[in-house]
A and B are shown apart, each in its own frame.
Chain A
Amino acid sequence: MEKTVSDANIMETLNAAHILYVYEEKQHYLNNIIGFLRTGIEKGDHMLMIENQSVYREIEGQFLCSLSQQQRECVHFIDNHSFYEFCNTSGTSNVWEHFKEILSPVFDSQKGVHTWAHMEWASLGQDAIDGIKHLEDVAGEVASKNGALSVCAYSASDVSASFQNNLMRTHKYLMTDKEIVLSPMYRCSR
Chain B
Amino acid sequence: MKREWLSDIPQKKNMTQEQVAAQAFLNRSYYSLIETGKRNPSFNIAINIAKVLDFDPMRFFDEQVEFESDFSDDVTADIHTRLKETNTGDILYLYDKNIYYIENVITFIATGMERGSTCIIIDDTSNLTLIDRKLKETISTPKREKMILLLPIKKLSNGMSTIQKLLETSPSVRLWWGGKRKGPPRDITSRLYDKKNKASVLFLCSYNASAISAASYIQLMRIYRFLMTDHELIESPFYLSEDQHPEKPDYIEFRLDNVGQESRKKEGEG
By beta carbon, the residue of chain A nearest B44 is A8
User: Which residues from B are CB-within-8-Å of A174?
Assistant: 237
With A13-B47, A157-B262, A158-B259 as known contacts, state yes or no: A181 contacts B238, CB within 8 Å.
Answer: yes
How near does chain B come to A99, taking the closest CB pair, in angstroms?
A: 28
Contact B68 A187 (CB under 8 A): yes
| In the complex, per-residue mask of B47-87: 1 if CB is within 8 Å of any chain A CB, else 0 | 10000000001100100110011000001000000000000
Asked if B31 lies at the interface with its beta carbon under 8 angstroms from chain A, I say no
Report whether B64 and A159 are in contact in the complex, using a CB–CB cutoff of 8 Å: no
- Contact partners of B207 in chain A: CB under 8 A: 161
Q: Please, what's the 1-or-0 string for A136-165, where 1 marks a CB less than 8 Å from any CB in chain B? A: 000000000000000000111111111111
Contact of B261 among A10, A157, A186, A188 (CB under 8 A): A157
Asked, given contacts A156-B215, A160-B212, A165-B209, whether A181 binds B263 with beta carbons under 8 Å apart, the answer is: no
A22's partner among B43, B94, B218, B257 (CB-CB below 8 A) is: B218
Q: A1-26 toward B: CB 8 Å interface, digit per residue (1/0)?
A: 00000011110011000000010100
The listed residue (A10, A14, A161, A179) touching B212 by CB distance below 8 A is: A161
Q: A37 to B231: give the CA distance in the assembly, Å.
A: 37
Say yes or no: is B232 at the interface (Cβ < 8 Å to chain A): yes
- Residues on B with C-beta less than 8 A from A31 are none
Instruction: Please state if A156 and B209 are interface contacts (CB–CB under 8 Å).
Output: no
Is A156 in contact with B218, judged by CB distance below 8 angstroms? yes
Kindly provide the distance from the CB of B228 to the nearest chain A CB, expressed in whole angstroms: 10
Bin the interface of chain A by size: 20 to 34
What residue in chain A is nearest B208 (Cβ atoms)? A162
- CB < 8 Å neighbour of A8 from B47, B64, B75: B47
B89–chain A nearest beta-carbon distance, Å: 16
Taking a contact as CB atoms closer than 8 A, the residue among A14, A156, A182, A190 that contacts B213 in the complex is A156
CA distance A128 to B67 in the complex (A): 33
Q: Could you tell me the distance between the alpha carbons of A161 and B261 in the complex, rounded to whole angstroms?
A: 13
Cβ of A158 and Cβ of B213 under 8 Å apart?
Answer: yes
Contact with A along B237-264 (1 / 0, CB 8 A): 1100000000000000000010111110
CB < 8 Å neighbour of B263 from A10, A157, A180, A184 = A157
A178 CB to nearest chain B CB (Å)? 9
A sample of 16 cross-chain residue pairs with beta-carbon separation below 8 angstroms, ordered by A number, consists of A8-B43, A8-B44, A13-B58, A14-B58, A22-B218, A156-B217, A157-B263, A158-B259, A160-B212, A160-B259, A161-B94, A162-B96, A181-B43, A182-B64, A187-B68, A187-B69
Q: Hey, which bits of chain B sit against chain A, CB under 8 A?
A: 42-44, 47, 57-58, 61, 64-65, 68-69, 75, 94, 96, 207, 209-218, 227, 229, 231-232, 234-238, 257, 259-263
Q: A161-B214, A184-B227, A186-B65 are in contact. List 7 more A-B contacts (CB 8 A).
A: A157-B257, A158-B213, A158-B259, A180-B43, A181-B43, A185-B232, A185-B234
Closest 3 CB pairs of A and B: A157-B262, A162-B209, A156-B215
